[in-house]
Structure 1
Amino acid sequence: MNEFAILATLAGVHMIALLSPGPDFALVLQNATRYGRATGLAIALGLSLSILAHTILSITGISLFVHQHPQLFMWVQVAGGSVLMYLGLSAIKGLLAATTEPAQTANDAPAVRGQKQAFWKGVLTNLFNPKALVFFISLMSTLVPASMSASGKAMAVAVVFLLSLGWFSSLAWLLSGSRVQQVLTKVAPVIDGLCALLFLLLGGAVVWQAGVFG
């Protein structure tokens, strides 16, 4: 298989993974809906840079090293699960606060204390997700051969990053459009509740799988 075919296959597989609902999608959905476009785009950038880091770590073998050392991988799982549960609890706290305060529009709401916090929330959500670590180890080891040229590997990293940034940015842009906002604002509490439940369940499952309570 030539390098162009490898890159095309990599792009297709990664795009399918991006389209699959998960914590990254939920994070963009929840925050772009409630806090607007700038916050959604900041989260999109944070998620994409974290994916870039995963890709580089996987293609250089560092992620595989972590995965092959059970104790180290366990702490990555604990950290990742804790981040997801924190997001779930934060969403519940925000939902409870919204029920006791006057209704706010997306422009009136405090944008997760600014785009900087939104950016780091995006970074941490993906970076410490052990499922993302395992996925990128599998993706890179399966589709990017060790014999691939340095320029080819650089292109592979660029393809994964640009697809991620394009998808999450487009999602944030779409969800924060004025017409979409009019609809989503009415169901924002439902979105917040479902996202909170997703974060708590995924985070709890990751921590449980780490064997902390076993």
Structure 2
Amino acid sequence: MKGYTKPLALIFIVLLIDQVSKIWVKLNMTLGQEFNILGHKLMIHFTENNGMAFGMEFGGEAGKLFLSLFRIVAVIGIGYGITYMIKNKYNRGFILNVALIFAGALGNILDSTFYGIFFSESSWYEPAKLFPAEGGYASIFHGKVVDMLYAPLFAGNYPSWIPFFGGQDFLFFRPVFNVADSAISIGVALILLYQKRYFKEEHLEKESINSEIIED
């Protein structure tokens, strides 16, 4: 288990926070309901989406099924990649970043795969119920992803000289997201930020191994 402890612990913690927050929101809030955490800069705002991260949509019911299955295949591939990297002693920071991406992807897969079976439909009038007597609101792979984090940090207007958008209002950050989305974004951002360090260390380590082989 050497090398697996930290990645597995990170995946477990992210999944636990993600699913606990989603289930609490699903069972205690109505669609559109919100309350402030840090004034108007960070809020809990309950919404659901049929598609990708940050509320983006993808092609109706057929697109939803394709996206759910694609996510599962992608997560299996990422999981295999993590195992390969641990066995081949890749940079630990890089492995943890990939583990964040894996946990985030898996968190949203749980929503789209099982929430339609386990919960009743959320509405603007009452929270959903867990394991309703009449059955869930959708079939397997057709559940909706729960989003609740909303951070409208600042608003303004695009300068008039910008093509197409000049003079229009903008809001950062407009999409509503969840813990799983955050984990994916942080993992990708850290890989991009530290990629030179990660792959430089990997290159130096391989050179050292090759030198030892040649000397022997």
Highest Rg: 1 or 2? 2
What TM-score do the two structures reach when normalised by structure 1?
Answer: 0.33
TM-score by length of 2: 0.33
Larger helix proportion, structure 1 or 2? 1
